[in-house]
Amino acid sequence: MKVGWITRLLATLGYGFLLAPIILVCIISVSADNYLGFPPSSLSLRWFVALSQNSEMLSAARTSLLLSATVTLIALAVGLPAALAVARGWAPPVVGLLLSAPLLLPSLVIGLALLIVLQPLALLATLPGLALAHLVVVMPFVVRIMTTSLAGLPPDLDDAAATLGASPWRSFWRITVPLALPGVIASATLAFLVSFDEVVISLFLVGPRLTTLSVAMFRYTERHADPLVAAVAVTLVAITVVVVLSVDRLVGFSRTIGRVS
Amino acid sequence: MAHLVLNQLSRAYAGRPAVVDLSLSVERGSLVALLGASGCGKTTTLRMVAGLETPDSGSILVDGRDVTKLPPHHRRMGVVFQSYALFPHMSAAANVAFGMEMHGVDRTRRAKRGAEMLALVGLAEHSNKKPRQMSGGQQQRVALARALAIEPDVLLLDEPLSALDAKLRDELRVEMRAIQRRVGATTLFVTHDQAEALAMADLVAVMDRGQIAQLGTPVDVFERPASPFVAAFVGRSARFRGKVAGGGVEISGASLRADNLPASGAIEVFVRPHRMQVLRPDEGRDNIVHGRLAAIDYTGEVAQLVIDSPSGRFPVDIATTDGAWRELAPGADLRVGWQAADTLWFAA
Amino acid sequence: MVRRVKRTGWLLCMPGFVVLAVAFVWPMIILARMSLNETADTGAMVETFSLATYRKLAEDSFTWQMTADSLLLSATCATFALLLAYPMALLLFRSTSRFRHLLAIVAVAPLLVSGTARVIGWLAILGDRGMINNILRFVGLGVQPLINNWTGVRIGLTESVMPYAMLALLGGFGRLDRLLEEAAATLGAGPMRRFWRVTFPLTLPAVTAAWLLAFVLTVSAFITPHLMGGGRVFVLATEIFDAASVTLDWPAAAALSIYALVLLMLLLGAQATLLRKRRT
């Protein structure tokens, strides 16, 4: 069916509104001004230079990388077995819902609850404390994507392997693991991105000693109205795009994610 | 002793019986078809034989050895699944070699026998293709080659042709039967397609609600159905209800003759549509029913007539070889006749 | 054998349950318990077991004003997000262009950009020296305050939930048969009637789901109201954060959180009942 001009017009409007802030971020990241404005009086890379010299942002970025990598690994270790159990029907489907329950609550509330619990344990502004907090919101994504991905495997394959003489253990390593690999890589990528981007919960749990990049960006924006954060954001987007595209090239990310939504 | 024996197998799902007290013997090298509608328990039966389901009671013997408690990977039964269940990340050759690897066959022999198997099913050229690069028919052949490669004690086929289009199905039917004869595999074959069952099987077991309604040769099952269910399920029929009176069956508007009728009682009569003829005015038959032609469908080899009679609507097939069907038009009053020997009856 | 499978299943889920219990269930219980404590006038927390904190909140008219403001803000933003996102989803549904896939990805891609960065983008558009005010200045209309107030929060929040609304809508459109509009056309329906009589009613469940998702997300959104509101916009989320991190009144923060959760649950419950009624 042909798309009418009204639809086209309204959709263009929607896309414009949705993408405007991101386009603006890209433009002002190369602004020479020291305020947030448009159009920039002239262009320069001064904010990227400033970023490369901002020790606070750089150390926060290091923390975030370490934290997100750790959280991703633990989330996979914890989430994959559960997803396998649900996808195979060894555990009832309600388990999947249960494990994604934290997504139903505002992260602000979860952050506050974790603050109250972790403070007396002296786990505020520590990697273990932050990792535990991130795990709560990252695990649901791993469980969901992996459950769908494992349940989407062609049926009967394990039965077929069994009739051909493969024990359950061999069938798992020879059939299930290779076929699940794309889903694992996709969910690891998403887990990393969700953790790296998490800000609200972290906001309650960081401190002067240890902060994440997303929190540092938030705090900076509270105090300064200049394009430094735009430079951070553009750098992150560039890295994200490269990572997502290469993962997509590798395993068909959009196909795996597409099956979930 | 028969090669494969199923002994009073039962299996229920959440209290609903799927297979009830089913017993069956399959001679070495023969092919038995389990024929039935979906939900009749035929696939459950096959899965129990393969070890993929555990029977609630009963036993399964292969060569007199009880395998009921054996897990599937120790049974050495070649299974062709309805979905084929080919491993999508492996080439055709790797799929075929997988079972041999699991059974400890060394690499050189695997390659040699794998190539033989693919050649047997006519896919020697395609050994390096992945399943998704192959057509449905090719995938089906790989599944068969994979099942045969482990030199199975018993070959189990679960609706192996149902995913193919009609023409290919007919071709593969002939081919599969030839391969099965050549390797001499004792085979249990599950299908809902009666033409497939009649054409391929040495014996057909017609299943109904978890039990075998009739076990017999294809000719037996079609020509001498053991029950109204079998008569109705296998092939089409004209059906009349009546009462035995005066040595014949009284139906509305006619009296029918049949062999070996009881002295009295209510009776249901079945006649195969191709056993009936439209009679010329001077022609006679043992049984004659008057009716009006409601519709006529030309299907190629036969023309299918629908006839309204006082005892109900029924189908009649007439051959199109002589062109006589062209003179029939809806609304015409006809005499339809058949011989007493072609009258199947069951006490109702 | 069946029992063994069951046990394996639970065993595999165990690590997940442990994480859930330690880092979610237990903190939520402690949070609920905290809301029953009191804060003395000195600001010190008093361990007790009373509803005093809730009473204090209920007696404060600011709580009710803020609740009304929050819900109105969420309803407004969810509605605008839907109005903007629906034509986009419709375009993606009808389009046969080879860029369709790309356009769909672009529509949800903002999720990969940090919320703070998107706020920066809005500040550059809406700020006093931003794009819009520069245009207004140019045509002689003078500077309009578009940030650090409700307007800015509404705009930023609408944009921030649009990708989620898109996801929900695309899910709904995905289940719709593209042939239906063609069938309606062969039956003589013009473009307008095709849309209002066939497509729109069939996507209504997805619209409801998307609106609700957007609503819930905006009620709990914190970053955008905080940064775009410039400390002058008070909603449930900013109040909870301020109580927890600025005034350090944990009982009040906890009580407000529980209040917000109950509110959300009531709304979701009401919506579920409404939907069930419509279906029967």
pLDDT digits (tens, 9 = 90+) for A215-230: 999 999 999 888 999 9
CA dist B303 and B305 (Å) reads 6
ipTM of the complex: 0.90
Give the SS3 label for residue B307: strand
| B179 closest CA partner among B206, B140, B126, B131 | B140
Residues 6+ apart with CB under 8 A from B196: B33, B161, B169, B173
CB B291 within 8 A of CB B308: yes
With respect to residue C40, please indicate whether it lies within any of the assigned structural domains: no
Residue B81 contacts A where some CB pair is shorter than 8 Å: yes
Contacts of C222 in chain A (CB under 8 A): 108, 200
CA dist A140 and C235 (Å) reads 28
| B269 closest CA partner among B235, B243, B234 | B243
Cβ contact, residue pair C101, A232, below 8 Å: no
Residue A64 contacts C where some CB pair is shorter than 8 Å: no
In the block, which residue shows the tokens 């300064």? A224
Residues B224 and B251 in one domain: no
Task: Tell me the β-bridge partners of B22.
Answer: B9
Residues B127 and B245 in one domain: no
**What pLDDT is stored for residue C97 in this prediction?**
83
Cα B142 to Cα A54, A152, A255, B77, B147: the distances in Å are: 62, 22, 27, 16, 9
**What pLDDT is stored for residue C1 in this prediction?**
45
Percent of chain B with pLDDT over 70: 100
- Domain count across chain B: 2
- Domain count across chain C: 1
Give the SS3 label for residue B266: strand
With respect to residue C230, please indicate whether it lies within any of the assigned structural domains: yes
Q: Which of B200, B232, B264 is the last residue of a domain?
A: B232
| Low pLDDT (below 50) residues in chain C | 1
Residue B156, phi then psi, degrees to nearest 5: -120, 125
Q: What is the pTM of this model?
A: 0.81
| B28 closest CA partner among B185, B240, B248, B206 | B185
- What band does A259 get if pLDDT is binned at 50, 70 and 90? very low
Which of B79, B83, B88 comes nearest A179 by C-beta? Answer: B88
User: Is residue B53 classed exposed, middle or buried when 0-12, 13-18 and 19+ CB atoms within 10 A define those classes?
Assistant: buried
- What band does B123 get if pLDDT is binned at 50, 70 and 90? very high
Contacts of A108 in chain C (CB under 8 A): 220, 222, 237, 240-241, 257
Q: Distance from B235 to chain A by nearest Cα, in Å? A: 32
Cβ contact, residue pair A233, C117, below 8 Å: yes
Residues B302 and B268 in one domain: yes
Query: What does the pLDDT average to over B124-131?
Result: 93
Instruction: Nearest chain C residue to A229 by CA: give it.
Output: C117
| B192 closest CA partner among B168, B235, B162 | B162
Residues B210 and B79 in one domain: yes
For chain C, the farthest-separated pair of C-alpha atoms sits apart, in whole angstroms, at 81
Q: Distance from A214 to chain C by nearest Cα, in Å? A: 7
Q: Which pLDDT tens digit goes with each residue over A158-206?
A: 999 999 999 989 998 999 989 999 889 989 999 999 999 999 999 999 9
For residue A91, give both structure tokens. Answer: 């555990």
Cβ contact, residue pair A157, B87, below 8 Å: yes
**End-to-end Cα distance, chain C:** 42
With respect to residue C38, please indicate whether it lies within any of the assigned structural domains: no
Contacts of B82 in chain A (CB under 8 A): 156
Which of C85, C125, C260 comes nearest A21 by C-beta? Answer: C125
Residues B104 and B181 in one domain: yes
- What band does A254 get if pLDDT is binned at 50, 70 and 90? low
CA dist A195 and A202 (Å) reads 10
Contacts of A179 in chain B (CB under 8 A): 88-89
Residues B36 and B141 in one domain: yes
Q: Which pLDDT tens digit goes with each residue over A136-164?
A: 999 999 999 999 889 888 878 999 999 99
Instruction: Nearest chain A residue to B146 by CA: give it.
Output: A164
If you ran DSSP here, which 8-state letter would residue B207 be given?
E
Instruction: Nearest chain C residue to A105 by CA: give it.
Output: C261
Residues B163 and B253 in one domain: no
Residue A239 contacts C where some CB pair is shorter than 8 Å: no
Q: Which of B232, B266, B297 is the last residue of a domain?
A: B232
**What pLDDT is stored for residue C268 in this prediction?**
84
Q: Of B13, B47, B52, which to mutate for an interface test with A (greatest number of A Cβ within 10 Å)? A: B52
CB A156 within 8 A of CB B85: yes
**What pLDDT is stored for residue C3 in this prediction?**
54
* Helix, strand, coil shares, percent, chain B, to 5: 30, 35, 35
Cβ contact, residue pair B73, A163, below 8 Å: yes
Which of B88, B89, B150 comes nearest A165 by C-beta? Answer: B150
Residues B242 and B219 in one domain: no
**What pLDDT is stored for residue C5 in this prediction?**
67
Which of A23, A132, A199 comes nearest C116 by C-beta? Answer: A199
**What pLDDT is stored for residue A252 in this prediction?**
61
The range of the structural domain enclosing residue B317 comes to: 236-347
In the block, which residue shows the tokens 């189990």? B156
With respect to residue C87, please indicate whether it lies within any of the assigned structural domains: yes
Percent of chain B with pLDDT over 90: 79
Contacts of B87 in chain A (CB under 8 A): 157, 160-161, 175
Check which CATH number belongs to the domain holding B174 and give it: 3.40.50.300
Check which CATH number belongs to the domain holding B336 and give it: 2.40.50.100
Residue C222 contacts A where some CB pair is shorter than 8 Å: yes
Residue B132 contacts A where some CB pair is shorter than 8 Å: no
Contacts of C113 in chain A (CB under 8 A): 22, 25, 233, 236-237
Q: Would you list the DSSP string of B142-194?
A: HHHHHHHHT--SEEEEESTTTTS-HHHHHHHHHHHHHHHHHHT-EEEEEES-H
Q: Distance from C84 to chain A by nearest Cα, in Å? A: 5
Compute the count of residue pairs across chains A and B with CB atoms less than 8 Å apart: 69
Q: Distance from A4 to chain C by nearest Cα, in Å? A: 8
For residue C147, give both structure tokens. Answer: 């940030």
pLDDT at A255 over 70: no
Q: Of B79, B87, B103, which to mutate for an interface test with A (greatest number of A Cβ within 10 Å)? A: B87
Q: Which pLDDT tens digit goes with each residue over C1-56?
A: 455 667 888 899 999 999 999 999 999 999 999 999 988 887 778 888 888 889 98
Amino acid identity of residue A148, one-letter, is T
CA dist C166 and C185 (Å) reads 27
Residue A94 contacts C where some CB pair is shorter than 8 Å: no
Q: Would you list the DSSP string of A166-228?
A: --HHHHIIIIIHHHHHHHHHHHHHHHHHHHHH--HHHHHH--SS---HHHHHHHHHHH--STH
CB B57 within 8 A of CB B49: no
Cβ contact, residue pair B85, A160, below 8 Å: yes
Angle between helices C100-108 and C150-174 (to 10 degrees): 140
Which of A156, A165, A168 comes nearest B85 by C-beta? Answer: A156
Classify the phi-psi angles of A254: left when phi > 0, otherwise alpha if psi is within -120 to 50, otherwise beta: alpha
**What pLDDT is stored for residue A258 in this prediction?**
44
Q: Is pLDDT larger for residue B47 or for residue A261?
A: B47
Residue C45 contacts A where some CB pair is shorter than 8 Å: no
Residues B30 and B67 in one domain: yes
Residue C267 contacts A where some CB pair is shorter than 8 Å: no
Half-sphere exposure in the Cβ direction for C141 (13 Å, CA): 9
Classify the phi-psi angles of C108: left when phi > 0, otherwise alpha if psi is within -120 to 50, otherwise beta: alpha
In the block, which residue shows the tokens 């553009």? A234
If you ran DSSP here, which 8-state letter would residue A31 be given?
B
Cβ contact, residue pair A160, B89, below 8 Å: no
Residue B102 contacts A where some CB pair is shorter than 8 Å: yes
**What pLDDT is stored for residue B12 in this prediction?**
93
CB atoms under 10 Å from CB of C204, counted, come to: 12
What rounded mean pLDDT belongs to chain A? 90
**What pLDDT is stored for residue C226 in this prediction?**
94
Amino acid identity of residue B342, one-letter, is D
Residue B94 contacts A where some CB pair is shorter than 8 Å: no
Look at A16-30, B14-28, C110-124, C169-183 and tell me which has the smallest mean pLDDT.
C169-183
| B80 closest CA partner among B220, B188, B217 | B188
With respect to residue C50, please indicate whether it lies within any of the assigned structural domains: no
Q: Distance from A124 to chain C by nearest Cα, in Å? A: 13
Residues B99 and B10 in one domain: yes
Signed CA dihedral, B122, B127, B131, B135: sign only: negative
With respect to residue C48, please indicate whether it lies within any of the assigned structural domains: no
Residue C269 contacts A where some CB pair is shorter than 8 Å: no
Instruction: Nearest chain A residue to C219 by CA: give it.
Output: A106
pLDDT at A261 over 50: no
User: Is residue C41 classed exposed, middle or buried when 0-12, 13-18 and 19+ CB atoms within 10 A define those classes?
Assistant: exposed
Residues B91 and B221 in one domain: yes
Domains annotated on chain A, with CATH: 5-260 (1.10.3720.10)
Residues 6+ apart with CB under 8 A from B97: B110, B111, B114, B149
* Mode of pairing for the β-strands spanning B238-245 and B333-338: unpaired
Half-sphere exposure in the Cβ direction for B297 (13 Å, CA): 7
**What pLDDT is stored for residue A143 in this prediction?**
93
Q: Distance from A261 to chain C by nearest Cα, in Å? A: 6
| B146 closest CA partner among B138, C12, C224 | B138
Cβ contact, residue pair A39, C110, below 8 Å: no
A160-189 burial, b for 16+ CB within 10 Å, e for fewer?
bbbbbbbeeebbeebbbeebbebbbbbbbb
Which of A154, A156, A166 comes nearest B73 by C-beta? Answer: A166
Cβ contact, residue pair B89, A179, below 8 Å: yes
With respect to residue C33, please indicate whether it lies within any of the assigned structural domains: no
The range of the structural domain enclosing residue C122 comes to: 61-279
Cβ contact, residue pair B83, A154, below 8 Å: yes
Q: Of B67, B74, B75, B79, which to mutate for an interface test with A (greatest number of A Cβ within 10 Å)? A: B79
**What pLDDT is stored for residue A22 in this prediction?**
94
**What pLDDT is stored for residue C143 in this prediction?**
86
In the block, which residue shows the tokens 């089906």? B140
Cis peptide before A39 (omega within 30 of 0): yes
| B148 closest CA partner among B67, B77, B51 | B77
For residue C200, give both structure tokens. Answer: 């729109």
Half-sphere exposure in the Cβ direction for C264 (13 Å, CA): 23
**What pLDDT is stored for residue C279 in this prediction?**
61
Instruction: Nearest chain B residue to A153 by CA: give it.
Output: B88
CA dist C130 and A28 (Å) reads 11
With respect to residue C14, please indicate whether it lies within any of the assigned structural domains: no
Residues B220 and B284 in one domain: no
Q: How many residues does chain B have?
A: 348
Q: Which of B232, B251, B271 is the last residue of a domain?
A: B232
Q: Of all helices (H) and strands (E), which one includes residue B221?
A: helix B218-223
Task: Tell me the β-bridge partners of B269.
Answer: B240, B345
pLDDT at A257 over 60: no
CA dist B342 and B231 (Å) reads 13
- What band does B143 get if pLDDT is binned at 50, 70 and 90? very high
CB B102 within 8 A of CB A166: yes
